[in-house]
Amino acid sequence: MVPPWIGGRTRWCPNHPDRLAIGICNDCGENFCGECLHAYTLNTESRRVILYLCPNCLRKRHIEKANATIYVGIVLLLFGIFSVLILLPFGVLIVLIGVGAIIYGSSKRAETPKELTVDALRSEKEKREVELADTGGIEAEEIYNKLLTRYINHWGVQEGISILKSEIMAYTMHGVSFTEAVKKVYQRQEKKTS
């Protein structure tokens, strides 16, 4: 995040004049407070990038995405109408897909963006840190069961069990007890998600 003051001048949030700005919107370049800046994940071909956007710019990006879906739907609809003249079943299918894309894009335009604000991200991180500090009181078996559930949900039963066992074994091979190994895997996973 870029500091809100440049050249010794303090910046205030335009939406909340009583709050200091903590960062700059990546799209419009205005300064905003943590309640106004949203973390927006942008997936590029080579990596994931997190942008910080104000509510207006976030809404614009969501509308642009929805509009792209609508445009694809319109193209499919026109292509389907043309295809009906050549091959009826194929053309009808394309028309239905086009209409579906238009309806889906229109519903996405009306949706409220769900990206978390910087303040919400900060509070989530603080909550996770408190949970990590509390792992000393949690039994290793309970932590293991949480990890096992997470891995199974992510990779499936066989693969999840295998990956978790190998991660725990990697710690135990270096002289760490099973209990400590489970806690270390849990802490590493929590750091990844924060």
Q: Mapping DSSP to helix (H, G, I), strand (E, B) and coil, where does residue 11 land?
A: coil
Q: Tell me what pLDDT residue 2 has.
A: 45
pLDDT in tens, 16-51: 888 888 889 999 999 998 888 988 888 878 887 888
Phi, psi for residue 37 in degrees, rounded to 5: -80, 130
| Domain final residue, candidates 74, 95, 110 | 110
Structure tokens of 48? 């994931």
Residue 143 domain flag? yes
| Domain final residue, candidates 110, 125, 153 | 110
Residue 141 domain flag? yes
* Greater pLDDT, 120 or 69: 69
Quick one: which of 144, 137, 127 has its CA closest to 185? 144
Weakest mean pLDDT among 20-34, 74-88, 176-190: 176-190
Report the alpha-carbon distance of residue 173 to residue 156 in Å, rounded. 25
Residue 17 domain flag? no
Residue 19 domain flag? no
Same domain membership, residue 62 and residue 102: yes
Same domain membership, residue 105 and residue 63: yes
Residue 153's contacts (CB-CB under 8 Å, 6 or more residues apart) are 160
> Is a pLDDT exceeding 60 seen at residue 134?
no
Expressed as residue numbers, the domain containing 66 is 58-110
pLDDT in tens, 142-170: 888 888 888 888 888 888 888 888 888 88
Please count the structural domains in the chain: 2
pLDDT confidence tier of residue 67, bands split at 50, 70 and 90: very high
